Amino acid sequence: MLDLWFDYKDLWLSGLKVTASLTLLAILLGFVLALPIGVARARNRGLSGVLAYGYVIFFRGMPLLVLLFLVYYGAGEFSRDLRSLGLWWFFRDAYYCGLLALVLNTAAYQAEIIRGSLNGIPSSIREANAALNLTRWTAFRRVLFPIAIARALPGLGNEFILLLKATSLLAIITIFDLMGQARFIFSETFDLRAYYVAALHYLVLVLVLEWLLRRIERRNAWAA
């Protein structure tokens, strides 16, 4: 198997880079999008609650593969309109389309995790906030948010790993991530080992990610 890796060393390395960069970007952008949605879900009031609920239902309900096709080929169908809107530079690029699909998808999952941990904060904490006269903003910023994030960490960690795995679908829209390179090498050589080499890469990536997450979690000494 090692020979197959060295024969296509450059391809594997560039695939690794694409996979890692996509995963990291999607995690970060997804989190930024998920925060307000998760908070709106937890409050579950007014228009924002309904919108957040709709968002979550929609993007959690459909397979990522379908979302990916929808964004990529769907946007292609409307290329003329997108061009006149000045958005085509974004949708033209498979990388951006793939990233967008990943972000939309993971934000829905991350939002639910954030909602869960916000709602899971025991009412006793909120009572303490009231009894100590904290303002709503202080209470959120100094108490609810840090506790929620700490409680959400294991769930978010899982989601990050799922996301890493999900990037493999992007190969289908011409992105040469790890999976894309594996498919290419396989089509060149018809050598099944190409997939095993890819599998090893993913195993290592997940191990690294898990290790990172464990390190972050361990910083919350108080949760013990």
| 5 part of the interface to another protein, by CB under 8 A | no
In the complex, minimum distance from the CB of residue 19 to another protein, in angstroms, rounded to a whole number: 10
Interface mask toward another protein for 154-193; x: CB under 8 A: -------x---xxxxx--x-x----xx-xxx-xxx-x-x-
Least gap, CB of 32 to another protein (angstroms): 22
Residue 203 binds another protein (CB under 8 A): yes
Residue the block writes with tokens 């197959």: 4
The CA distance from 93 to 79, in Å, is: 12
Q: How many CB atoms lie within 10 A of CB 159?
A: 21
Is-contact 99 175, C-beta < 8 A?
Answer: no
Instruction: Name the 3-class secondary structure at 136.
Output: helix
Of 53, 143, 154, 155, which lies in the binding site for another protein, with binding defined by CB under 8 A? Answer: 143
Cβ proximity to another protein: between 3 and 133 the closer is 133
Q: Please give the sequence-ordered ranges of beta strands (E in DSSP) within 5-121, or none if there are none.
A: none
- 95 counts as binding another protein under rule CB under 8 A: no
Give the span between the Cα atoms of 193 and 173, in whole angstroms: 23
Q: How many CA atoms lie within 13 A of 8 on its CB side?
A: 24
The answer to whether 212 contacts another protein (rule: CB under 8 A) is: no
Judged by CB under 8 A, the residue of 9, 17, 44, 78 near another protein is: 78
Q: Which of 32, 50, 85, 128 binds another protein (CB under 8 A)?
A: 128
